[in-house]
Every structure is written in structure tokens, then in C-alpha cells.
Amino acid sequence: MSTPAQLPSTEELRDLAADRLRRCGVGTIGEDAAPEGTGITARTPLTGGVLYRLPAATTEEADAAVTAAEAAFREWRTVPAPRRGALVKRLGELLTEHQDDLADLVTVEAGKIRSEALGEVREMTDMCDFAVGLSRQLYGRTMACERPGHRLAETWHPLGVAGVLTAFNFPVAVWAWNTAVALVCGDPVVWKPSEQTPLTALACDALLARAIADTGAPAALHRLLLGGREIGELLADDPRIALLSATGSVRMGRQVGPRVAARFGRCLLELGGNNAAVVTPSADLDLTVRGIVFSAAGTAGQRCTTLRRLIVHEDIADRLTEKIAHAYGQLRVGNPFDAATLVGPLIGPGAHAAMDKALDAARADGGTVLTGGDRRLADLAPDAVYVRPAVVRMPAQTAIVRAETFAPILYVLTYRTFDEALALHNGVPQGLSSSIFTRDQREAERFLAADGSDCGIANVNIGTSGAEIGGAFGGEKETGGGRESGSDAWRSYMRRATNTVNYSDALPLAQGVTFG
């Protein structure tokens, strides 16, 4: 669909979205399914144009969705986990069958370049594969019991309805991380996607509804609630939501976390990051540049794991920044459907304003913009925002560097000693992803050690973004502490019971206590 310098029109994108939605099983949506000023507006960041106005869920509809999901829970929790896996297996098949449809929708709605959009959809099918395997591996432990004739073990049971709040920048993968695991764990899902990405959500919901029908599972295992933060607030406050998995900004987490805690609910927070890479003098600079450019400029800097801070040894800083600036000069910014494009649009004018403000603050702090930061294609699409990713050399880690600006800005800082690099690295409130580029094993191991990177993800010789689903994903400090996706992240979706079984004729008490 056109070249980087050309853009499809809003009408073409609406037609494309309508076709892909239909193929995924979503019924026809009128262009104005909700009157102006009500509901939510589906826009495309490619042109900034309106695709659809959609009705938002009412309070009553949200309540009914949770009621239905709770009823489905009572049935689903007794279905053996491997049979629950059959539903997720079918979902994975349908996602594979419709991967191109979904990828097109992700590009239209979130502005990701097509290859990254497809990668996001493949991550969903990977997640389904993982969850199907998991459905036979929800293991509990058996512990040595101190009392004779007793057995001590733990069992894992379905938890309840999982509420899922997702962000615009991973409109489908984060839903799949949560939903595939929740379903095999025995939990129905009530999903409130970002108000900026309702179309991909409708497509996912339709495909899961089909998988549910095909496998004879309870229809209310999945409920989609379109709407703004007020719907998220309802889920945060609803005691029937046993787990609220919330992905988004630190600002959102600060509001949602205490609300869920106030009712003693379980919360899984996946919030903002401010990810850094340390580059030491022994690093392979060509590999480092490739890793940096993908992590910093990929997805137009709109990943939670985007590389935002580069901490470079002073001896190599000039050489490295020169190479990075050169690579940035080759980045094609424009139509994300074009295979030559590497950087698509920002999600909207708000992101652009935040980027401009951050660049001004960096300059005021003595920073020098080495490349990028300027707007492109404004003549073709005045309501869309295409920018060249920026690289800014900073004299110090000032307040603006310590904040997450959700746009493509890479701040470059220098260090002299390794301890200084670690102090800079950990000297931010967020703790999501991190990496070190080095060929010195001692430096790599120190970075991964207890007093090294304080992040939930710490990599060596690869960038901060692009995690695989097999590992647990999440971060520390203001990133919220949640873990999703692989490894043993499933435990957040289940309730643990410790069982002591006495199969003897005696009743010995623990710790040698005698009573009567």
C-alpha cells in the first residue's frame, strides 16, 4: 500500500479495516455506531483520521459482563486444565489463520510497521502454544512433612475472573499473554482494551468467541468492554474481579494499584520503563549499533522496553554516537505498510507534544540534539505525526532523562568507571528492561549480579526490547513488579492451597506441641 513518502487515505484504511474485521468475524460497524461526542473514537495514526465512532460500555453492561464471567467461572474451574487447553489450542489455530488480518489491523490502528505488527500477532500464537503446554504442567510441590503418617503438599486452583486492562502500544499481544494463561488456569477474562485500539480488540474477541463455540466452552469466558478509564476504574473496584492485570503508564498504575489493594484484590502491574544500555570499551560496536537502533527507534520509540538511555564509556562515546547518528540517517520514516519503512507514526498529537517538550527540557539542561526530532510528512498528513527519532547527548542524568517520554528519544550519557555506569543505570525510578554490550565476561556478570542491573529484564549483547514469551516479563520499582507471559508467571492467575493430610491413627501436632 503506497511508498514511505505516500500515505493511504483514511477512507482506504477504513475499507481495509472493515474487510479485515469482517474476515475475523466482526459484524458490520456503521461509521457512526455511536453519535458524536459519545462512545470512543477509533482513529488511525497513519492519517490521524477517524475510522469509526463506537459505543462505549455502560456501567450496567460492565456489571453484567462481570456477572456473566463469574457464572462462567463456576463452570470452567471444574473443567480439567488439559481440556481448558483445548480451547486455547483452537484460539491459537484461529490466530494463525487470521494473522495477516490481525497484523493489518494493528498497523492501521497502532501504526506499527507491518513486520512488527505481524511479530506481535505471532507472539500471540506463541503464547497460545505455551499456554497449551502449561495446561498439563500446573504443578504443585510436595514438601517433606515433619509429622509421621502425614503428607504436606500444595495444589493450585483457578482464581476467579481476571480483569485485563491493556495499553495502545501492544494492542493484541498483551491481551494474549493474559488471556491464554488465564483460560488454562481456569479464569474467565473481562478485557478493557485501550480506547485508542478498539478495532483490534473487536477482532480478537470475535476469534476467541469462535474458539469458544468450536470447543463448547462457556460463552461468557470472555467479555470485551470498550471504553475509557472509567470502565477500568469499575473493574478496579469490583470485588468479583479476583485479579486485575493492568498494563499502561505509571500514572495509571498509581491510580489502579491502591484501588485494588483497598479491597484486598490481586493486582498485576506492568507499567512504564526507562530502559538503558551500558556500552563498555570492549563492545563489538557494529553489533551494538544494530541492537541500539532497533531498541531505540523501533516501534517509533513506543515500546515499554524501548531503549531510552545509553550509558557509554567516555573513550568510545564519540565513535559510537557517530555510528548511531549515521544509522539513524538511514531510517525511513513514513507509511508503515511499506516494506522500506522502519519508523511509522506516533500514536497521536499528544505523543508529539510530549516529545517536543522533552527535547526542549533536554536542551535547557545542556543537552545537544545530535540528530532527529523533526516532523516529517506534515504536508501529506497534517493530522498525523511522523517524526525522525532523536539522539540527544546529555551532560548529566537530569529530571527529563529520568522520566519516561513515550516517543523516540535516545539520551546518551557517558561514564568513566563501571560503578559509575551502574549508578547511572539504576538511578531512575523505573526498572523494566536493561542491557549491557561488552565482550568482557566480568563486566557482563557484574551487570547481571545482585548489585548490578535492578531491572526485571537484564540482557547481554542484545537490546532492551523484543523479549520472547518463554521468560517472565515485567519490571521492578515504578514498573510495578508484575510478571506476565512465560516461566512461572501463571501462578498470579491461580490460588494456592497448602494441604496437610493425616493418613495415620494418631494426631501429632506440629512443632511438638502437646494439648490435653
Note whether 492 binds ligand NAD by CB under 6 A. no
Which of these ranges, 76-84, 159-167, 310-318, 492-500, lies near ligand NAD under the rule CB under 6 A?
Answer: 159-167
Do 19 and 1 meet the contact criterion of CB atoms below 8 Å apart? no
Q: Which of 52, 130, 156, 170 binds ligand NAD (CB under 6 A)?
A: 170
**DSSP assignment, residue 30?**
-
Nearer to ligand NAD, 74 or 263 (CB): 263
Give the x-and-dash track for 472-491 against ligand NAD (CB under 6 A).
-------x------------
Site for ligand NAD in 399-418 (CB under 6 A): 404, 406
Note whether 163 binds ligand NAD by CB under 6 A. no
Q: Half-sphere exposure (CA, 13 Å, Cβ side) for 88?
A: 32
Q: Which of 249, 282, 398, 426 binds ligand NAD (CB under 6 A)?
A: 249
Supply the minimum distance, in Å, between the C-beta of residue 231 and ligand NAD: 7
Residue with cell 461526542: 37
Note whether 177 binds ligand NAD by CB under 6 A. no
For residue 200, what are the CA distances in angstroms to 113, 141, 209? 15, 39, 14
Q: How many residues bind ligand NAD (CB under 6 A)?
A: 29
Helices and strands, counts by H and E, the chain:
15, 23
Note whether 432 binds ligand NAD by CB under 6 A. yes
Supply the minimum distance, in Å, between the C-beta of residue 262 and ligand NAD: 13
Cβ neighbors of 27 (< 8 A, separation 6 or more) are none
Catalytic residues: 270
Note whether 243 binds ligand NAD by CB under 6 A. no
Q: Half-sphere exposure (CA, 13 Å, Cβ side) for 375?
A: 17
Note whether 273 binds ligand NAD by CB under 6 A. yes
Supply the minimum distance, in Å, between the C-beta of residue 250 and ligand NAD: 6
Angstrom distance (rounded) from CA 273 to CA 403: 9
Which of these ranges, 32-40, 74-82, 160-168, 417-425, lies near ligand NAD under the rule CB under 6 A?
Answer: 160-168
Q: Which of 26, 236, 260, 333 binds ligand NAD (CB under 6 A)?
A: 236
Q: Which of 10, 247, 275, 414 binds ligand NAD (CB under 6 A)?
A: 247
Please provide the DSSP assignment of 439-479 as one string.
S-HHHHHHHHSTTS--SSEEEESS-SS---TTSEE--EETT
Note whether 233 binds ligand NAD by CB under 6 A. yes
Angstrom distance (rounded) from CA 43 to CA 72: 34
Note whether 57 binds ligand NAD by CB under 6 A. no
Note whether 298 binds ligand NAD by CB under 6 A. no
Nearer to ligand NAD, 321 or 430 (CB): 430
Q: Which of 72, 110, 180, 252 binds ligand NAD (CB under 6 A)?
A: 252
List residues bridging with 39 in a β-sheet. Answer: none
**DSSP assignment, residue 264?**
T
Nearer to ligand NAD, 85 or 163 (CB): 163
Note whether 192 binds ligand NAD by CB under 6 A. yes
Does residue 131 sit in helix, strand or coil? helix
List residues bridging with 162 in a β-sheet. Answer: 189, 243
What is the torsional sign of CA 43, 45, 46, 47? positive
Residue with cell 570492549: 282
Angstrom distance (rounded) from CA 405 to CA 488: 31
Angstrom distance (rounded) from CA 349 to CA 343: 16
The grid coordinates listed for 379 are 504536508
Supply the minimum distance, in Å, between the C-beta of residue 485 and ligand NAD: 9
Note whether 271 binds ligand NAD by CB under 6 A. yes
Supply the minimum distance, in Å, between the C-beta of residue 347 and ligand NAD: 7
CA distance from start to end of the chain:
83
Supply the minimum distance, in Å, between the C-beta of residue 443 and ligand NAD: 27
Angstrom distance (rounded) from CA 485 to CA 468: 9
Supply the minimum distance, in Å, between the C-beta of residue 183 and ligand NAD: 20
Residue count of the chain, please give it. Answer: 516
Residue nearest to ligand NAD (CB): 232
Do 220 and 208 meet the contact criterion of CB atoms below 8 Å apart? no
Binding footprint of ligand NAD on the chain (CB under 6 A): 165-170, 192, 194-195, 228-229, 232-233, 236, 247-249, 252, 255-256, 270-273, 304, 404, 406, 432, 479
